[in-house]
């Protein structure tokens, strides 16, 4: 049984995993296609391929850090911090913020 994860655990993730985690955290719930469109490249300029995203996402779902949620839109992914990984929490509602993108961009570029 995977253990519950804490935000501090994410600091130890490889760059591709950390970038994917940040995109999912920001979106709250996101489809694989949307995730591929959002991840793009790492702060060091390396391009993240769909294969890299698929592999990293599978590892994070397996570890319990990311959860796959079956929704009306198909499978969407969300973070799973500090929760018992055996329980299936209800998905959070999506929300849009208009001024938060610069904060997330700064975090993404700080890695």
Q: Judge whether 77 and 35 are in contact, CB under 8 Å.
A: yes
Mean pLDDT calculated for residue range 80-107: 57
How much of the chain is in helix, strand and coil states, percent to nearest 5?
45, 15, 40
CA 38 to chain centre: 11
pLDDT category at 51 given cuts 50, 70, 90 is very high
Indicate the range of 8-17, 27-36, 76-85, 91-100 predicted with least confidence.
91-100
pLDDT at res. 76:
96
pTM of the predicted model as reported, rounded to 2 decimal places: 0.68
Only one residue has tokens 């769909």, namely 50
Structural domain spans, the chain: 7-105
Q: Which residue has the tokens 């904060």?
A: 103
Q: Determine the Cα–Cα distance for residues 84 and 99; give it in Å rounded to an integer.
A: 32
CATH architecture of 7-105: Orthogonal Bundle (1.10)
């Amino acid at each position: 049984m995977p253990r519950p994860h804490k935000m501090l655990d994410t600091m130890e993730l490889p760059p591709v995993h950390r970038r994917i985690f940040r995109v999912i955290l920001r979106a709250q719930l996101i489809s694989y296609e949307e995730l591929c469109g959002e991840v793009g490249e790492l702060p060091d300029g390396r391009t993240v391929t769909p294969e890299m995203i698929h592999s990293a996402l599978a590892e994070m779902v397996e570890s319990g850090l990311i959860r796959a949620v079956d929704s009306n839109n198909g499978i969407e992914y969300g973070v799973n911090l500090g929760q018992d990984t055996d329980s299936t929490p209800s998905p959070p509602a999506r929300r849009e913020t208009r001024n938060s993108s610069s904060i997330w961009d700064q975090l993404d570029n700080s890695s």
